[in-house]
Structure 1
């Protein structure tokens, strides 16, 4: 009988090969597979989304430094109409209300559509895809992330000052938005290599609407409503989950987005987490 001796390096190599073979045998990704960017470091100045009331007066939430605590893998570009239509054809997603070109970013999707697409893509690839949280989206957006405090004016004795300042800012934002979706890359690339983060397609996040209320006695109370979610883009928007058209009155607070689309995060687990890709 021939005795075969394996070195520790050989054993490690065989183990890695076995893992990779198992990984390769997983269900194939749609063609083409989503292109991703892996962030290992990121930071941004951040306010929690939602409404902040101080004894009944609208105020800005506190602005704090936010730093990425673990690597984040996110789609480089928004999901295309062709990719979404593949989900529809496969029975994983609901058909959309209007036609669209396959290579353009998918628009006219509500939060439930976005969740369905993430579930379908996860099943097709054997990986876990999900919507980003608002914090993750802000970190990925980096310099493209826009503070949603339109004004620092907050005068309890004269709340009309804040209302006028907010109205002026929101009116200007509405004038600047061109509603026609553009091809991927039209609105440029940020410092992390992500496309179109400040364009005219807003992206759903998983973060629920919250109201932060300082009561007359100083007690802080928070209420959460997950029937409204945060959408991110050129500015932050609070959107009713089942509306596909933000211009139809679905925006709960502030300026409505021009379009609603999807960009997903891929969770790093197993071999991917170990190898770092």
Structure 2
């Protein structure tokens, strides 16, 4: 993939449907893979596939099916639809029939099936031209229409917003054991209200005509009338990306790698530029960088768990907060490098940790202020110990829940610290100005950047630097990757 001339335009796009886990079959046949490794081609004779979810039964028509994965044991069954909806639960049908052209009809017990990849078919027009989008606490996400007549909410300051048509985005975070929750509404006029809802659930109609009552304790995010793609549901509601600059490499098995954003590099000044930073941020230094691409988000549990499943690498603890789209934590500098090496092999591209200079360039996004949005704290911009978010001082937030910086990158301030390649030095006096980093050097501590949910606001400044032992794992530290670019 080549990079266009404009490398960080901020065209507002409601993009990012869930990528297909596998490339769809183009031969007109469904592919059934059994647990014993046998593979059969044909047509699955089933009008609907009914999933019993935590919030009701969801029957998905055969024509809408893209992928069915049977979990087995404690793992849920999962359905991915042609339009990118994802549901998890238990498949109600326990036996399927496969029609084959030259062979006898084949009955298959669901317990024997590993997955079914459905033949590619022309997408039908969506039921809703501008659907609402629902994301649940367990990672299900789907297009729907909210049919609750009112969503009464009492804010911390006594403010009330009851009309769903005035809501742009609703975020919900469950507290201990999911018995309670806090919520935040971002209204169409930009007003932000935090509080609790007077109702226990929200009622939605799916794109298949099913009515679901979703308890607020099961809900993670709800966006109203924000999908304008016309093709697939949209689940990144705050994303601002120029598609010319977006890179998603395909792995050997057809799956897509992380979203990476191409940046042009060049000269910039890193370090403390206000005079009130820490000693390790001085003296401010001019740095020259080559073009590179960097992750739009921190690497998530979903992405990291695929690496663990493929390699047998240790799965990190999620602290009981949930995995999915949360940034992976409890990973060492060595773990992060192992993931980068695996992704490089799977994509045949060069992935690595960013250098300290590359990370700050990406985080600043052209700014010279304390934070990418300015010199003064602003509420609802980040997750830290005193940032005013739903997750403050308690846990990490799922990636992409806060506005992106001007480059289009999320969570460069707060949420979790991010490993970079460099050895720790307590000032910039002897540090190279070319920004390449020193990943090959042996050293006792490595740099981490960006601050975290557990650290104060002062520590999420763009210039702030911290350090840790490369073998240490912590619940406030993850990483994002750089992809090297081939330039003329």
If the TM-score is normalised by the length of the shorter chain, which range does it land in?
A: 0.5 to 0.7
- State which of 59, 65, 68 in structure 1 corresponds to 2:286: 65
Who is 1:244 aligned against? 473
Q: CA deviation at 1:189?
A: 0.5
How far off is 1:184 after superposition?
1.8
TM-fit CA distance, 1:195: 0.9
Bigger CA radius of gyration: 2
1:142/1:59 Cα in 2 relative to 1: closer, same or farther (>3 Å)? Answer: closer
How many Å apart are 1:243 and its aligned residue? Answer: 1.3
After TM superposition, the structure 1 = structure 2 runs for residues 89-238 of structure 1, keeping only pairs within 5 Å, are 89-91=309-311, 93-98=313-318, 100-143=322-365, 175-176=386-387, 178-211=393-426, 226-233=443-450, 234=460, 235-238=464-467
The residue aligned with 1:267 is 484
TM-score normalised by structure 2 residue count: 0.36
**Superposed CA offset, 1:19-41 (max 9, x none):** xxxxxxx9537733211111114
Is it true that 1:88 corresponds to 2:320 in the alignment? Answer: no
Tell me how far apart the structure 1 counterparts of residues 369 and 309 of structure 2 sit (CA, whole Å): 36
- 1:266 aligns to what SS in structure 2? strand
- Note if contact 1:178-1:200 (Cα within 8 Å) is conserved in structure 2: no
Once superposed, what is the RMSD of the aligned Cα atoms?
A: 3.3
Q: Which has the higher strand share?
A: 2
Aligned residue among 237, 257, 262 for 1:33: 257
- Change beyond 3 A, Cα 1:146–1:181: farther
Residues 355 and 421, structure 2, Cα contact 8 Å, conserved in 1: yes
Mark the runs of 5 or more structure 2 residues left unpaired by the alignment: 1-249, 273-278, 372-383, 432-440, 451-459
Size of the alignment, in residue pairs? 194
Task: State the alpha-carbon separation in 2 of the partners of residues 230 and 86 from structure 1.
Answer: 26
Cα distance change, pair 61–96 in 1 and its aligned pair in 2 (3 A): same
**Conserved? CA contact 2:266–2:290, under 8 Å:** no
Give how far 1:109 is off.
1.2
Report if the CA contact (8 A) 2:332-2:472 is conserved.
yes
Following superposition, the deviation at residue 187 of structure 1 comes to: 2.6
Residues 1:38 and 1:44: Cα distance change in structure 2 (over 3 Å): same
- The aligned residue for residue 47 of structure 1 is 271
1:252 aligned partner: none
Change (3 A) 1:212 1:74: closer
Change in Cα spacing, 1:92 to 1:236, as seen in structure 2 (3 Å) is: farther
Asked which structure has the greater RCO (Cα within 8 Å, sep 6+), the reply is 1
Q: 1:60 to 1:229 in 2, by over 3 A?
A: closer
